[in-house]
Amino acid sequence: MSQSDYVIVGAGSAGCALAYRLTEAGKTVTLIEYGGSDIGIFIQMPGALSYPMNMPRYDWGFSTVPEEHLGGRRLVTPRGKVIGGSSSINGMVFVRGNRKDYDHWEDSGAAGWGYADVLPYFQRMESWHGGTSAWRGSDGPLHITRGKRKNPLFNTFIEAGHQAGWPRNDDYNGEHQEGFGPMEATIYKGRRWSAANAYLRPAKKTGKLTLIRGLARRVLFEGKRAVGVEIDRKGQIEQIKAGREVILAASSINTPKLLMLSGIGPAQHLRDNGIEVRVDRPGVGSNLQDHLEVYMQYKSLKPVSLYTYYNLLGKSRVGVEWILQKTGLGASNQFESCGFIRSSDKADYPDIQYHFLPLAVRYDGKAAAKGHGFQAHVGPMRSKSRGTVRLTSNDPLTAPKIHFNYMSHDEDWEEFRACVRHTRKIFGQPAFSAYCGDEIQPGADVQSDEQIDAFIREHAESAYHPCGTARVGAADDPDAVVDPELRVIGVEGLRVADSSIFPRITNGNLNGPSIMTGEKAADHILGRSMLKADLDALKGRP
């Protein structure tokens, strides 16, 4: 087998973007992905989003250890095991994050990762269909669109948020994030516009990309330099060599697992699992973060929700229209309006996110409430709780131990109570008077702090945004795993480029920031001058 310049592990959000930018620059790339094809109605039809993340064919099937602050519940942790990675099984919501998220990254040691540094990469990756804006991109590979909001409940939610005292915001990915407005999605011409559709297929056309299906077992080294990856391909152990560098983009769960299997991680933990220590990096697998959310559900006084289609005949009609025309309800993820607000005056920027859905149903598509209803997914954005990813053995086939340590900080409970109370305030506004019936969940009798806490303990679910397990920081920071150029500290020829590198979780869904990481990583790897925005010149511009 001919040797590529670069070997990337993981054909997910960041990995696909990185592969495209490297091949576009004339470099040869071998991309290793354990999962199979993303071609199929369950992935490509946006309205079918609840299916792929619950299918072993497409999902790694991870779950947490019993989470002690959530009543000992094990929460599922879906990660994409398919071409496109989690961008092929996610909810397709596109959120850049707040500018202060990235300024916090830089302040915590990630030099060159402030908002002015990342904004040009968000712009480079976007083809935004929302109009013309100095803050947005217009000719990138990733198409970003908005739902048509034909259902009256979408605009009702936006109006109610405004009536409750928050601003309207027509573009939360623009200059300001705060407020209520239309939600954006990686959907184009009625199809899921995953990282595979946006980046991987164009990368293949360059003739510079080799895609290999196999399980990455460990990084190969000669001395301190990474020289390739050992993989299991159909039961055969092979070595895939890299001429220049190896880049791990295998997710915030599998990337730290691979680092530890390769001897990079907390020394004692590696020894306990029979792994020779190459570099003692305690930050590997630490700093694990996520977003939790609850579903506030209400009965609808009018038959306007998606419940009309929540039966075999209705779903069949939606599916047939999508197959024939790529239109109708199947062409939307049904998250078409949203909000970003502050939990209290103590927050200097939004720390609560809303996804509105015109149906009362679980995110996995199960347990629909009987009759017409709607719901808001709501949760705090910047939990102070931190968890870990750890090995359970030195066998690459075994799943890691995932412990988010959810709700382990007192402020988490304060913020979540604020989520519940703010949501009730929104649905109590005049805009909803014609639609809003009884509260299904948590129920009008749940009022005290103790009652709300019990509801959260029993019903909080992951929003599926794990990150932070190989964080970027200063090279002399003992808890950092990669330096600001994403080079793994302590070795040569090895980088990480995925949501593992986030020092702190961003405000909103993580697909956008993950793709941005792949885009920016490419310029670091290619040794190019890094892009930087003039924020003062942009200020106040439409």
User: What residues are designated binding site?
Assistant: 82, 90-93
Element (H, E) at 461: strand 461-462
Query: Do residues 496 and 255 lie in contact, with contact meaning Cβ atoms separated by under 8 Å?
Result: yes
User: Which of 40, 38, 43, 17 shows the shortest CA–CA distance to 83?
Assistant: 38
Give the contacts of 509 (CB within 8 A, at least 6 positions apart).
Answer: 90, 91, 93, 94, 95, 463, 465
Strands (E), 263-395: 264-265, 279-280, 292-300, 337-341, 352-357, 373-380, 388-390
| CB within 8 Å of 373: residues ≥ 6 apart | 297, 298, 299, 300, 305, 307, 359, 360, 437, 440
337 touches 149 (CB < 8 A): yes
The total number of residues written for the chain in this structure:
542
177 three-state secondary structure: coil
Q: Can you list the alpha helix ranges (DSSP code H) found in 170-210?
A: 195, 201-205
CA separation for the pair 156, 435 (Å, rounded): 9
Residue that is written with structure tokens 């909001």 in the block? 149
Bridge pairing between strands 126-128 and 236-248: unpaired
Residue 393 carries which side chain, given as an amino acid letter? S
- Report whether the peptide linkage leading into residue 442 is cis, meaning its omega lies within 30 degrees of zero: yes
Annotated binding site for FAD: 82, 90-93
Report yes or no: 187 and 145 within 8 Å, Cβ to Cβ. yes
What DSSP assignment string belongs to 380-418?
ES-----BEEE-S-S-TTSPPEEE--TT-SHHHHHHHHH
Instruction: Report the C-alpha gap between 187 and 173 in whole angstroms.
Output: 16
Which amino acid does the sequence have at 505? I
CA-to-CA separations, 406 to 34, 41, 75, 102, 523, in angstroms, rounded: 29, 34, 10, 23, 35
Structure tokens at 58: 């497409």
129 is catalytic: no
Question: DSSP of 110-146, one letter per residue?
Answer: -TT-SHHHHHHHHHHHEEE-S---TTS-SSSSEEEEE
What's the chain's Rg over C-alpha atoms? Answer: 22
List 69, 269, 355, 465, catalytic entry: 465
Angle of helix 449-459 versus helix 410-427 axis, rounded to 10: 100
Dist CA 24 CA 21 (whole Å):
5
Three-state DSSP class for residue 542 = coil
Token digits for 25? Answer: 């620059």
Q: Which residues are catalytic?
A: 465
